[in-house]
Each structure stands twice: as C-alpha cells, then as structure tokens.
Amino acid sequence: MPQDTLKHVSTLIKHMSLAEKVGQLFVLGYAGKDTEYAKSLVRDLHVGGFYLTHDNAETPEEAYALTSQLDYEAHLRACDAPLLLAVDQEGAWGVLVEHTTTGPGNLALGSADDLALTKKMHQVLGREIRALGFNCILGPCSDINSNPKNPIIGVRSFGEKTENVAAHAAAAVKGLHQGGVVSSAKHFPGHGDTGEDSHRLLPTVDKTWDQLQRSDLAPFQSTIDAGVDLIMTGHILYPHIDPQNPATLSKKILQQILRKKMGFTGLIITDSMNMWAMRKNYAPAEAAVRALAAGADLIMLSEEHYENQLGNYQEKQRETIVGVIHAVERGELAESIIDTALTRVLSVKYKGEAFTHPSRFVRGALQSGEHQNIAAECAHKALRVLRNHCGAWPLKRDGFTLAGASNPAMHQLVTGTRGIGPNEPHAAYEVFRQELQARGCHFKEVRYELLDTLLAEDSRVRIELPLVIVTEDYPLPGLDYDGDQQAEIVRRAVAKFGDSVIVIALRSDYELAALPALSTYVCSYSSRACSARAAAQLLSQDLEISAANAEPA
C-alpha cells in the first residue's frame, strides 16, 4: 500500500465518528427503484456500498443514472471515499442481461478450456459493467463442482477438476482487472461440494484440512496470486476445521487460513447475511458483529428486501448497523477491529482506478460486435459431443422432430428470480428453435403440452424420427428448475424410441448419470442465448466441431 494513501486514510479515520466508520463497512441491497432511499443510506447511515440488480435499474440509461447519483452522494460526505457498487455479472448470473454481453458462463469456459478466451470474456464483462458505472463484479465463482447435485453452483463453476478451475479463476481475475473493475472470488472456502443451497439453510461440508488444501482452496489461492481484490465468504459449516462456526463467522477460516496460510491481504466480504443459512441461525446484528470479529471487512445485506412479507427490511438494515455500533460502545466488539477493516476498505477505494466514475455513458460500449464475437467463440468452443454410440451424429439438417423437455411455465422463475439470477428474456429452447428456423432447417415440433400424449405407451401419435429433445437448467437462488422432470421425459422417450432420441443439452452434463440408456448427447454447458445459437448452428452443420470434441461412432 502506498504510504501517502495509508497516511490519508489514517488521518480520515481519526476524524470519523463511530457511526461513520461502521456504516462504511456495510454493502446493502434495496428494493426496486427507490433511489431516494439508497441516497438516504449514504447520507444518514454512511454506508460504504451497494449490491445492485436489475430490480434497481432495468436499462443501461437507468443504471448509469443510478450509479452517478450514488457516486455524487458519496462525495458529499466528509469521508468522500467512493462507494463499492457491486453486481453479480458472473456469466451464468447477470444484470441487464438483455443489454449486456454475458457470454456462456463459467462452465462453458471451462469446457472450452482456453485460458486466453476466459480472460477475454471476463474483460468484456468488466468493460461493459464499468461503462454503466458499476465498479465491482462479484466473481469469479471459484467453487469446484465436486458434487454434481449441488443446486446452486453448477454452470457458475469452471468445472470439476481442481487444476482447471484454479487456472480459469486466475485468468478471470486478470480479465476483470483489464476490464476496469475490481474482482471478488467466491464462495470461500468452497461451495461446490455442498448438496444444499445456502439461500435456504446452512450446508455442511465434511472435509479435512488436507482435503481442502488439495481441492477447494486451490482456486482461491490462484486468484490471490492473480491479485484478486475481494474474497467472498460462504455460509458453510466445516466441522473438521471449526465445528462451531460457519466460514463467515470463523476466525480459524478467515484469519488463520485465508489471511495467514494463504496470504490474502485484500478485502473479505460476506455473502448476503440475509440468506437463510444466516437468518435461521443468528440474529442479524449478532451475525454482523461475529463476522467482523472473525475477520470480515465488509458485511453484505442484499436479500432481505425479497422477503418483504416477513417485515420491514429497511428497519432491519438500520437495526443491524446500529447493533454493530452498540456492540462497540458496550465493549463487545473492539473499535480497533473496525479501524483495521476500514483501513483496508478505504485504501482499496482511494487507490483503485475502478472507483473513478465514468464521465459519461457510451451505449456503443455494450454488446459491440467485438464483444458478441468473443461470446460466440466461447460458446462454440465449449460444445461437446459426449455420446455418439450409434453414429446418429452429425444429424441431417432436415427431417427430424424437435421438442423441449422443460415446462415453459418454469421460465417465469428465470425471468423473475429476485433480480440476481439468469433473467434470460427467452428460454434457451426458444432461442435454439428460432435459430434453426432462421437457418432454414426443416423439422416438425412437438410442443411441451403434447409430450405426455406422444410418450404414452398406447399413443398412436406418429412423428418423424429422430426425436431431438432439448434440456436446459438454470442455477436459481432459493428455487429449483425442473431438471428431474426433464430427465424423466428423456427416459420415457428413450424407452419408446430407443436410439432415435438425441439430446441437445443447453445446460451442464450432470444429467447424463441419470440417462444410461441414451445413445446420443451433445452438450453446450450453458443455457445462455449465445450457447443456444451455437448449438443450433452445430446441428444445422454451419459449424464444424473438432474431432477432439466428438466421441467416435
């Protein structure tokens, strides 16, 4: 840290009230487009940042106006440090999805396995988000997909192999930095081996220190070596490491492991303290105090406004911040802990180029031809033919039947899930079908509502084979997509039509374990639109897939 920055920060902290200091350690979310409330948090509670979603800004113009107003408000304070304006633009999850280039997401990048391309794609994410005035992307997701049944990581991870995830996570950090934003590896020390979603309850991972060192910690170490700015904690219990405290509240995990053993000197930010993993087990202010005492620098409260029916979230935010202030006043939390965390936070903000708000918004900075080409290249290189037992692939472009295995009603969850999920305006199946039509493919379609009739044992419905079934999946916070039902549709189809069934998976390949009788399977590792288009191009034979990516007949 430059001495002049440290000296400036030290002088500031000496003249700040306790309320000003504590407020700076909070990153808050808020409901809808209530910008006046957000500005009041800056003025009255001295908050240090915001977790923003497309609930807060639906268009690029709204996003730039919002970040500009918040940045201006912050600079009116005696401590004029800029705000941390953070978003979940990680590829699989995103904001302003219709207006930005998300690419196919991390699992597809892991499948493509081109570190230069991963870096390029994350540079695109950073550039576009930076153009809107945001300065932090809460990524890369550095979890390893150790458990294929994990309900919340999936396509957000770079994959199952420790060394690959580590390499791509480091490349992503470098790309985000080149894109002009600060980065945040998550969810430390690893959420990939859980069978539960921490939005719902507190997961437990039964791994020893040696097992963690060999697997989950490696990607985080690689991001630290690459200069990651923040590391986000996971609300997960590791009983072999700390049997009493989840990682977010554990001194052993945050101080002894992350700080001392791994050498991380950046900012430790908690995952949302309003996820049920925390809320079901700890009072809000108590959890915040314990996280700060354990070594967290920033407390994030980013989900309670999605639970408005349970009470006034604005009052909960105020009570949590005031609760920390009172804990310091009562001697339950040392003020020196607050000062140490604040020194780190302000030093990052004052020396970071990312925290200079862009002077104007240039719409051409979003979804440029260059950015779209990079996303398309990522999606194309990710495609894999994982099964081709009967030589049914490549498929002739004409004369087949197409069906989507996902209930169209499920897509309402994708477009409306709290502003922090995939939020794709169109289902992957619809993008795939439309792309096939645009490329002149001739096929018949069986709509979802007729699938049950088609697959009934006594059905007399006749179709033109082969039957191409599209599956898709989305990691939804606190919700489930209909993956099990889709797999059942595929199993019924195989039972009836045998080797004439071909699955195009616009998702991860983890469903394959449940489909042992299926002969032909092509996977994109993503449900993003760019991947749906790439898969359609592959089927229509406008895109060649390398022999290395295809299983021989």
What's the CA gap between 412 and 424, in Å, rounded? 10
Buried b (16+ CB within 10 A) or exposed e, 191-207: bbbbebbbbbebbebeb
What's the CA gap between 14 and 70, in Å, rounded? 25
Cα dihedral sign, 271-276-278-284 = positive
What's the CA gap between 344 and 389, in Å, rounded? 57
The DSSP secondary structure of 158-189, one letter per residue, reads: --S-HHHHHHHHHHHHHHHHHTT-EEEEEEET
Among candidate residues 54, 122, 191, 199, the one labeled active-site is 199
Element (H, E) at 217: helix 217-225
| The two structure tokens encoding residue 376 | 């398309």
What's the DSSP call for residue 90? S
CB-based contact 146:206 (threshold 8 Å): no
Strands 230-233 and 182-188: parallel
Other CB atoms within 10 A of residue 544 CB: 11
What's the CA gap between 96 and 445, in Å, rounded? 31
Tell which phi-psi region holds residue 242, choosing left (phi > 0), alpha (psi between -120 and 50) or beta: beta
CB-based contact 335:20 (threshold 8 Å): no
Buried b (16+ CB within 10 A) or exposed e, 347-358: bbbbebebbebb
What's the DSSP call for residue 395? P
| The two structure tokens encoding residue 211 | 């097992």
Cβ neighbours for 433, distance < 8 A, ≥ 6 positions apart: 402, 404, 445, 536
| The two structure tokens encoding residue 500 | 């004439």
First to last CA, the chain: 58
Among candidate residues 55, 114, 216, 271, the one labeled active-site is 271
Is 242 a catalytic site residue? no
Strands 299-301 and 267-269: unpaired
Is 271 a catalytic site residue? yes
CB-based contact 128:101 (threshold 8 Å): yes
Active site residues: 199, 271
